[in-house]
Amino acid sequence: MKFGCRLAISLIIFLFERQNLVHAATLREATTVTCSEGHTETVDLRSTERLAGASGEARLERNGRSTDIEVEIRAMRPASLFGGDYNTYVLWIVSPDRQMVNLGELLLEGNRSRIHSTTRLTTFAILITAEPHYLASTPSAFVVLENKPNKRSSRIQHPVVEGVYNFQRSNLDDVKEAKGKVHTEVKQAFTAFRLAERAGAADFATYELRLAGRSLDETLRLSRTGIHRNEIEAQARHTVRLAVAAQHLAQDRTERSIREVTGNSSRY
């Protein structure tokens, strides 16, 4: 009985460590903006200490049941210069009830980028974060731009991923801007696969990780041959999708195993 109890405890610790590699989060405060029916508003975006000097604005227009959001940012530096797991920038909106929506990747052309999207929400916070890949499901702690409050703003708290992603620099104060379009698709594919491995996919999503690995090999083959950039980008993004699926499956199975082991250990 004692051996069984020790084994169960050891397994719980192992599974929790796996889980914490992808679930560590902390709360961050933000302010909301509101766009009313029939109105158009321009909201300034202010930089954080991560990327001092960056700027931008979001143009909001409410029509019927949707809000159009057009964001333009300037004086940016490539997210990959943070080093480690960071590769790209993602636009987020966060509702007052902490619903976090990834509205898409901001592709840099030199030091600028523009993106257009829509949401059904009327009140939300706007964030731009550095992320490992374009399919991030929760904002990282590397927030580089956020909306300035307006007269109808309210304060909200939302989780960000912290202590999980590796990095070499905490800010980009002294780095140069890029010239031309910034390509990070292959690096995103590498990182997504690595994150899946770190989440325990080799043990809990073996088949799915194998598919992602094959796709990554194909991404690298296309990259080496110098084939048309569009085909490389498409294959890399496919790799990210497969790797993220493997990561999420590994997380779900890890959580299920924790519940099962915890329930069984209570019998000892």
pLDDT averaged per 10 residues, the chain (length 268): 43 48 76 88 96 96 93 97 98 95 97 97 96 97 94 89 95 90 96 97 97 98 90 97 97 85 59
Q: Which amino acid would we find at residue 82? A: F
As its CATH architecture, domain 29-161 has: Sandwich (2.60)
Domain boundaries, given as residue ranges, for the chain: 29-161, 183-265
- pLDDT for the residue numbered 14: 46
How many alpha carbons fall within 13 Å on the CB side of residue 259? 6
- pLDDT for the residue numbered 105: 98
Write down the residue that tokens 């082991």 correspond to: 261
Phi and psi (nearest 5°) for 60?
-115, 135
Whole-model pTM: value is: 0.88
Distances (CA, A) of 18 to 9, 21, 196: 14, 5, 11
